[in-house]
Every structure is written in C-alpha cells, then in structure tokens.
A = this chain, B = another copy of it.
Amino acid sequence: MNTEQIVLASRPVGLPTPVNFKVENATLPELQKDEVLLQGMFYSVDPYMRGRMNAGESYVPPFEIDKPLEGGVIAKVVTSKSEKFKTGDVVSARLPWQVQAIAPAKVLQRVDETLAPASYYLGILGMPGLTAYFGFLKIGKPKKGETVVISGAAGAVGIVVGQLAKIYGCRVIGIAGTDDKAELLIKEFGFNDVINYKDTKDINATLKETCPAGVDVYFDNVGGEISDAVVRQMKRLGRIILCGQIALYNSTEIPMGPRLQPILLTKSILMQGFIVGNYQSQFPEGIQQLGTWLREGKLKYKETIVEGFHQLPAALLGLFKGDNTGKMVVQA
C-alpha cells in the first residue's frame, strides 16, 4: 500500500528553508498482529526539531537524510490487528511525517475527544501540558501563597506551569525574552509579573525587587546564568524543577558555573531533574485533570492550525518567523 511522506532532503545551515525537505512516495508493509494502520489528523511542529536536523549528537538522535521526519501526531485508526483499538479510534503517538503509517498498538495513547478537541493532545493535553503538570505538581508541590518563578515562561510548558501556579493560589513571576511575550503572559495568562531578561541590567537585583520575600518554587526551562540568579533568591525548603537546560543543546562538555550545593545545603533546597516519561502510568490522571480545568476556563490554550499535510515544512519554518500564536499544528 502506498502513502506519502516528508523526508529530510539535506541538512540546513542556519535557518532551514523549503529545499531541506522533500515529499516522497512510500510503501507500507503488510499489517502484522498487534499493529494498526493510522491516518494522520494533526501533526505537531516544534522548535526542538531544528536541533534534530543537524548531524551532531544531542540528547535526541538526529533525523536521517532521505528518511521521514517524525514528531507528535494525532491519528485515526483505519485498520486494526490489535484487540485494544478499532477502526475510527483516535490516538496520539510519536510517528513519522506520513499521510498513513503503521504502528504497534502498545505505543498508542487513546485520545478522548469528549474532553477536548483532538489537536489539544499535541499541546496542553500532550507532552508540553503533561510535562508542566507532573513537574510542577509532583516535584514543585506548590502551596497557596508561595512565590513561583518560571524561566522560558512563554514556551509551551512555561505557559501551562504559570496557569497551574495561579490555580494553586501562588504568586507567579515569569522570565521571558521580549516585551510582547511579557505582555501576553500578564494579560492573557494571569502572570503577576514578567521579567524581560534581555532588557534587565542586573537580573539579581531585578529578581530581588520582584520577589522581595524570596522564591519558593523555581521551574527551570533554560539553566545557565538566569538560573544562577534565581537560585540565589530561593527560600528555605524551596524546590527547583529542572525541565530544560540550554547547555544541553549546545554543548557536549559540561560548562562551568557557580557551585550551588552550598546554597542547597544551607537552605534545605530540593533540585530535581525529570522527563515526563517518568510519570507515564499517571498520564490518564493528568490528562483528565488538565481537561477539566480547560472546560472550567481555569486553563487557557492557544493554537495555530495550518491546513494541509504538504504544509508541514512551511509550518515548521514559520515557527522561526513567529507565524504562530501558541502551539503550532498542521491539520492533514
């Protein structure tokens, strides 16, 4: 059986362009036991995909030349040889950029369209939303009245963390890189304040002014010097959630920085790294709770939907031109 796929034609230098991609025909093998044939509905495009277009080693392997790109996809079951799924079921999975694809049933997550639109399962009810949910609640353990600081606050994860912190009665300070983002976070998503770190002469002094009582929970999406400054403002028994570290993307050597252990020790602070997969068995609980808050209007979500499978490369390129507000997805 034939289908179409979008492959990496060449590795970009600097910003990717349309010539780095190619639409090709592909032949699907015969469906085996416990597999399903899927028809793509929504495809996620994400900034981290740029890194996978490079040849270099990273914490995820690079895309291969002449092989399809891959990412989060919401798909409908066309044919099933699994007892778990039947024709018409909607599922979420990490899949190649193909119009149709075959996948083992065990990698599929069921999508509940009565809770929220299917595309939401690529964003607030998908990896970014669940990352925010489990990292902030299970490690951060927020309490009413606490001060929460979020770096990379305007990102897909940061925006959800900030709203969760408001639901839990916290004071929420974001750190972001443009005034537009700062305004969006305050006006649309209820952040109490946002620090534009590019516009700040002394991040330590600004943090101290903005969080005069100190920081209880720090949700760290970036690492580096911004984090050094936040850690200095942490209160006794504070919690630091490590969710992203710029250094990871750019460097194989471990960079130097101030030793944080003396601060963590004298203030009895917890610092913990995690990946959302650690909480896989609790995903249904997380999706249910996030979906409920969405319906109640306690969580807001923005997405930009681009129409057409062939538009996947253009949508990805659009991310780097700021074509999107909120999460960018492509509808096949």
Contacts and interface: CB of A to CB of B under 8 A. Distances in A.
Interface in A12-71: 59
8 contacts: A223-B262, A242-B264, A248-B262, A254-B260, A256-B257, A256-B259, A264-B271, A264-B273
A118 to B, nearest CB: 30
A211 to B, nearest CB: 19
A275 interface: yes
Interface in A242-275: 242-245, 247-248, 254-275
A310 B219 CA distance: 54
Contact of A270 (B255, B256, B261, B272): B272
A152 to B, nearest CB: 13
Interface string A219-252: 0100110010000000001000011110110000
| Contact size range, A | 35 or more
A278 interface: yes
Contacts of A265: 242-245, 248, 273-274
A49 to B, nearest CB: 19
A254 B257 CA distance: 10
Interface of A: 59, 220, 223-224, 227, 237, 242-245, 247-248, 254-275, 278
A242 B244 CA distance: 23
Contacts of A254: 258-260, 262-263
Contacts of A264: 242, 271-273
| A-B interface, 6 closest residue pairs, ranked by CB to CB distance from nearest | A265-B273, A264-B273, A257-B259, A254-B258, A242-B265, A270-B272
Contacts of A270: 270-273
Given A265-B242, A273-B269, A247 B223 contact: no
Contacts of A262: 223, 245, 247-248, 254
B223 A259 contact: yes
A262 to B, nearest CB: 5
A264 B231 CA distance: 15
Contacts of A220: 261
Nearest to A248: B262
A272 B269 contact: yes
